[in-house]
Amino acid sequence: MIDKAAPGTTVARLSGPAPGDTLPVGREAEIGRILQCVERGRDRPQSLVVLGETGTGKTQLVGVAVERAIRSGTRVLVAQGCETEMQQSFAALHQLVLPLLDELAWMPKRQRDALRGAFGLAPAIQPADPMAFRVAVLTLLRQATRTSPVLLAVDDIQSCDRDSLDVLLFVARRLSSEPVTVLLAARGEIPPPGVPADLAVLPLGPLAPQAAAQLLDAQPGAPTGGARLDLLQRAEGNPLAVIEMCRALRTDGAQPLSDDGRPQTSRIQQMFAAQLDALPAATQRALLYAAAASTHEELTTLMDALDAGGDLSVWSPAERAGLIAVTDRHVVFRHPLIRTAAFHREPVRARQQAHRDLAAALGEQPSRQAWHLAGAAIGPDESVAAALEATALLAQRRGGLYATVKALEQAARFSPCDDDRARRLAKALTAANDFGDPAWVRELYASFAAVNRDPELLGVAVCATGWALSLFSFQREAFSLLADAWEHHHPLDGTTATAMVAIAGGIAHQSGLEEHLRMLPGMLAQVTRTERAREPGTRTTELQCPHLAREDVAASLRAVVQAVRGPAAYASDLFKTLTSLPRPTDPRDLATLHRMVATGVVAYYADESDRCVDLLRQAFVPLRAAGAMGPTAHVLAVQVDVLLATGRWSEAEELIEEARSFSVVRGMTYAQLDLDALHVTLRALRGDSEPGVELTGPNWHSVSLDENRATLARMLRARGLAALARGDHESAFRHLRSLFADDGTPVHRLLSSRSVADLAAAAQRLGRQKEAAHVLAAVRQAEGRRPTTRITLLMHHAAALMDEDADTEKHFRLAVINPGADQWPMERGLARMNYAIWLRRKRRSLEAREQLATVIEAATRLGAHRLAAQAGAELRASGAAVAPETAAREAAAPLAELTAQQQQIVRLAANGLSNREIGEQLFLSPRTIGTHLYNVYPKLGISSRHQLRDVIERSLG
């Protein structure tokens, strides 16, 4: 394809994304590295080799670079290796320089003849001179750089003819000052033979789990639940495998997966048909057995199943073809789609025999043997079902929740009896809930509901399904499911009742709806009556987690529900009671971990923030190691929230990133939204004034915030703090005021009140104290006579800012002198800051300076650069001499207040680039660049573009 870059200039173009197209998912860092190379190549020679297996996205990334280069006015020359042309000398090089061959009139005759002869454009009069030809190509490219920079992009260099590659590398080594970028892409993990070892290499590994999940979810008809997790596991992070396996599931019709769980389609088989057909029959059979085995199956097991003894030569043809790698203990497929193709290209009878032979080879390992027995089975078989259930039990003991759910799901599928099927599905539901995949839970519940007749099992299943629906953000549906089962099928087992009411409490916290909160006391009372009526020695059913039978764990779960329903003072009493319980003997067993999580949540309600951090941190590590993200999913936001409040911002940021990944992979909708809101909150606390763009994605439009008021409260606070950070007090007041109803009642009983001081600060800046005063009154009423220390301090701070009838100084002093405020350093710092401003306006500069010095120290320790800069400016205004380190921070503060993208825009504009040129580099429109600059001028204290260079120089010292 030929594009016109400018009059008289012709460039070739690889197929790549046009402006505005979506960039490859999960390759942001790699794209940045490639584009940086291309950008640097506009000034001096650059070379980069992109390496990756089939389907990792090499061609797409090269296409992005080509598109970027074209848009920036670079002349682009492209070529692509072709296996059918590998024996033709200079075939690839001819593709590359073809657009330049009409411009040879200026060249010396000897070089021109060498070029024309080598490319068959003229008869060769004398034997070719290799050096003359190489120099001619080098001269041709140097001439092309006189009008614009040049990008040489060659894809699939492993399939280029050797002569072309030799010349291209000769040229790359001799470019010294020309603006040329050489971008090469090759299949494999190491560069092809002949590529110098000193060339920079960019390897494309598998996508991160979060990126692979995002890519899968972007496909039409993407699977959910167990099929989704299976696909992600089998695709091994390869983008092509994700796309093709998803397409296979769509084309296979109603049954999303084949019987053994592998997507099958003729398209995948055809991708590798030629390579597989070329192998000897014995090697094809060996690959079938390797494909039928698990990815971690030992080589000795495969050899036993094949009855091949110790002769490993059967694998050699596949190794030479690059399809597999054989290590000391395993056979590894080079590409996940090769495994799929090698398995499904064989007839069903051969696949069944492979499973039987593997089962026989694993006779002494029944847990692994069970999977192959299932693979060989045709219909319901109780022996297979029992073997899989035993496998699930072993996996659960080892902490493998994913394997547990899979084994139980398959055991239910092979169960001939509905009662056994329901029982096994109920166990699968519980395990899937612990694993933390709500879509999988819903799918299992649909199968369970179709066969179950046991009311006790229903209670177990409803617990898991209600939890899953809540994670999906469907709080009303989740609570209704629990309430209906509670009313019509009230569980006889006390542990089931305890679990149901605990989950109801978690849903009520998230929903924030009074209709849910009102039901909790009655449910708690009924649980108490059930516990009292239970005869001593009564055993729980096998489906119940044994830890629920422990009174200390059950008490902690009931305390969570009481804290959700009751006022903060009640939570404080509950926390004291829980911490007085006897210490468990094993601090890492499952029962203790659940007790720690529950106690941590009560501490959150009681504003025992430091204790909450310690408890949740201790519980989170072993639960995460076991893959049990279900029990922690509802408290992820709690943990991050408390880390932010107590000033542990780096730890909070790490947890946000980690939690974002598995919440995306496992489809935890509202957990993703909470994490987005908390990330914006963190940026705002640090002083990043970029608007909360993370709070405008598709998830936010698909979730009813009216029934997810905890998430709504976090979103409104995040937006309010972001607006305060950028100086938009009107927007800040609007968002923070929305945390309370028209009459001042908190929208969320717990979270709204914690923003009352932020609302007061925005109201004071706008002179709207009277509008916010009744909110403070409503908060006081809601908190009762014994509010927590934290809420007391926040209410004093708010009263000092907006209660005109109050003793302002008294409230300020009460907000800052309480030693308990040390738990919440940012809130205390803001109170000190506002107190210092009040003192300075009262001409009490010495007292103001004392407060400001403390604020600067605390803000610097936290990394709250905006607050530190504000305190430094106030300190200077009070007449104090500013310390050199403080002056340096203030000099850098204007830039530090900007986002990373805004800083980049400012630096490019300071270097003289136009809005259009900056936009081309950053993939933004000129209008967007202009808007960013318009917004940053006031923050930098300037009024025009030509002042930007001075700001940059000051920030550098």
Mean pLDDT of 118-131: 67
Averaged pLDDT, 724-743: 92
Q: What pLDDT score does 14 carry?
A: 42
Pairwise CA distance, residues 562 & 508, whole Å: 11
Query: Tell me, what CATH number does 145's domain have?
Result: 3.40.50.300
Is residue 304 within 8 Å of residue 361, measured between CB atoms? Answer: yes
Containing H/E element for 554?
Answer: helix 551-565
Closest by CA position to 475, among listed 422, 440, 438, 447? 438
Residue 49's SS3 state is strand
CA distance 741 to 576: 32
CA distance 751 to 709: 9
Residue 281's pLDDT band, with cuts at 50, 70 and 90, is very high
Nearest CA to 904 out of 946, 863, 948 is that of 948
Which residues form the domain of 940?
A: 898-955
pLDDT at position 829, please? 94
**Domain-located, residue 891:** no
Q: pTM (2 decimals)?
A: 0.77
Supply the DSSP symbol for 299.
H
How does residue 109 score in pLDDT terms, banded at 50, 70 and 90? Answer: confident
Separation between Cα atoms, residue 38 and residue 202, nearest integer Å:
14
In a 3-state reduction of DSSP, which class is residue 210? helix
Per-residue pLDDT at 253 exceeds 50: no
**Domain at 908, CATH number:** 1.10.10.10
Over residues 692-721, the mean pLDDT reads: 83
Residues 500-510, mean pLDDT to the nearest whole number: 92
Rounded CA separation 224/438 (Å): 10
Q: Which of 416, 407, 289 is nearest to 351 (CA)?
A: 289
Cα separation, 930 vs 935, in Å, equals: 9
613 vs 251: CA distance, rounded Å: 49
In angstroms, rounded to a whole number, what is the distance separating the alpha carbons of residues 188 and 50? 10
DSSP 8-state symbol, 206 = P
Looking at 203, 222, 242, the residue that finishes a domain is: 203
24, 60 contact by CB (below 8 A): yes
pLDDT recorded at residue 798: 94
E strand or H helix that includes residue 597: helix 590-605
Of 418, 411, 358, the closest CA to residue 387 belongs to 411
Question: pLDDT at position 645, please?
Answer: 95
SS3 content of the chain, % helix, strand, coil (to 5): 65, 5, 30
Looking at every residue in the chain, the average pLDDT score rounds to: 83
CA 372 remoteness from chain centre: 34
**Could you tell me the two tokens for 857?**
């120290």
* pLDDT of 487: 85
Q: Per-residue pLDDT averaged across 636-645, rounded?
A: 93
Whole-number pLDDT of residue 10: 36
Q: Is 783 part of any domain? A: yes
- Contact in structure between 407 and 389 (CB atoms under 8 Å): yes
Q: Which residue has the higher pLDDT, 872 or 19?
A: 872
> Which amino acid would we find at residue 422?
A
Residue 45 falls within a domain, yes or no?
yes
Residue 540, pLDDT above cutoff 50: no
Q: What is the pLDDT of residue 283?
A: 94
DSSP code at position 85 = G
**H or E stretch at 11:** strand 9-12
Whether 834 has a pLDDT exceeding 70, the answer reads yes
Q: How confident is the model at residue 255 (pLDDT cuts 50, 70, 90)?
A: very low
The DSSP code for 231 is H
3-state secondary structure of 584: coil
User: Which whole number is the average pLDDT over 79-95?
Assistant: 86
> What pLDDT is attached to residue 259?
43
Where does the pLDDT of residue 90 fall: very low under 50, low under 70, confident under 90, or very high at 90 and above?
A: confident
Cα–Cα distance for residue pair 549/553, rounded to 1 Å: 8
Q: What percent of the chain has pLDDT over 90?
A: 34
More confident residue, 130 or 627: 130
Residue 681 lies in a domain: no
Nearest to 622 by CA among 395, 394, 399, 433: 399
Query: Tens of pLDDT along 745-756?
Result: 999 999 999 999
Number of domains in the chain: 3
- Amino acid identity of residue 569, one-letter, is A
Query: In whole angstroms, how large is the CA radius of gyration of the chain?
Result: 33
Q: How confident is the model at residue 736 (pLDDT cuts 50, 70, 90)?
A: very high
**Assigned domain for 120 exists:** yes
Cα–chain center distance at 957: 37
Domain assignment of residue 327, yes or no: no
Residue 65: both structure tokens together: 């670079």
H or E element, residue 62: helix 58-71
- The helix (run of H) or strand (run of E) holding residue 50 is strand 46-52
The answer to whether the CB of 209 falls within 8 A of the CB of 666 is: no
Burial of 503 (C-beta count, 10 Å sphere; 0-12/13-18/19+): buried
Neighbours of 522 (CB within 10 A): 11
Q: Residue 515 pLDDT > 90, yes or no? A: yes
Strands 46-52 and 201-203: parallel
Q: Which among 415, 513, 215 is positioned nearest to 228, based on CA atoms? A: 215
How many whole angstroms separate alpha carbon 866 and alpha carbon 683? 11
Residues 6 or more apart whose CB falls under 8 angstroms from that of 951 comprise 894, 895, 906, 910, 940, 942
Q: Are 542 and 536 in contact (CB under 8 A)?
A: no
In tens, the pLDDT along 606-621 reads 999 999 999 998 888 8
> What DSSP letter does each residue of 347-378 carry, written as one string?
-HHHHHHHHHHHHHHTTT-HHHHHHHHHHH--
Q: Is 751 domain-assigned? A: yes
Q: Which residue has the tokens 């605390």?
A: 858
CA distance 879 to 586: 59
Burial readout 583-593 (b: 16 or more C-beta within 10 A, e: otherwise) = ebeeeeebbbb
- 290-342: per-residue pLDDT in tens? 999 987 888 999 999 998 888 899 999 999 988 999 987 889 998 888 998 89
* Token pair for 619: 């519980």
Sorted by sequence, the CB contacts under 8 Å of residue 336 that are 6+ apart come out as 234, 235, 236, 238, 241
Query: What integer pLDDT is reported at residue 439 of this predicted model?
Result: 86
Could you please report the per-residue DSSP string of 185-217?
A: EEESSSPPTTS-TTS-EEE--PPPHHHHHHHHH
Average pLDDT over every residue of 154-182: 89
Are 168 and 154 in contact, with CB atoms under 8 Å apart? yes
Which SS3 state, helix, strand or coil, does residue 683 take? helix
Please tell me which of 115-124, 241-250, 684-693, 719-728 the model is most confident about, judged by mean pLDDT.
Answer: 719-728
Tokens 């920030």, residue located: 955
At residue 146, the pLDDT reads 86
pLDDT for residue 197 is more than 70: yes
Torsion angles phi and psi, residue 270, rounded to 5: -70, -25
pLDDT of amino acid 607:
93
Structure tokens at 817: 């002198």
Taking 60 as the threshold, does the pLDDT of residue 924 lie above it? yes
Contact predicate 528/412, CB 8 Å: no
* Cα torsion 744, 721, 828, 790: sign: positive
Give φ, ψ of 302 to 5 degrees: -60, -40
Do 904 and 789 fall into the same domain?
Answer: no
**pLDDT surpasses 60 at 538:** no
End residue of a domain, out of 802, 825, 849: 802
Q: Are residues 785 and 909 in the same domain?
A: no
Query: Which DSSP category does 923 fall into?
Result: T
Element (H, E) at 287: helix 281-292
- Mean pLDDT, residues 428-442 taken together: 86
Q: d(Cα 545, Cα 594) in Å, to the nearest integer?
A: 11
pLDDT greater than 90 at residue 509: yes
Among candidates 168, 166, 171, which has minimal Cα distance to 194? Answer: 166
Residue 49 has pLDDT above 90, yes or no: yes
Domain boundary residue, one of 779, 802, 825: 802
Among the ranges given (334-343, 853-862, 898-907), the one the predictor scored with the smallest mean pLDDT = 898-907
d(CA 424, CA 389): 8
Does any domain span residue 168? yes
Tens digit of each residue's pLDDT (9 = 90 or more) over 376-429: 998 899 999 999 999 988 887 777 888 899 999 999 999 999 999 999 999 999
Q: What is the pLDDT of residues 776-810, one digit of tens each?
A: 999 998 888 889 999 999 999 999 998 777 789 99
Nearest to 403 by CA among 416, 413, 412, 394: 394
**649 with 643: CB under 8 angstroms?**
yes
Cα(748)–Cα(753) distance, rounded to whole angstroms? 8
Please give the residue that has the higher pLDDT: either 769 or 937.
Answer: 769
Q: Which helix (H) or strand (E) holds 4?
A: strand 2-6
Helix (H) or strand (E) holding 713: helix 709-725
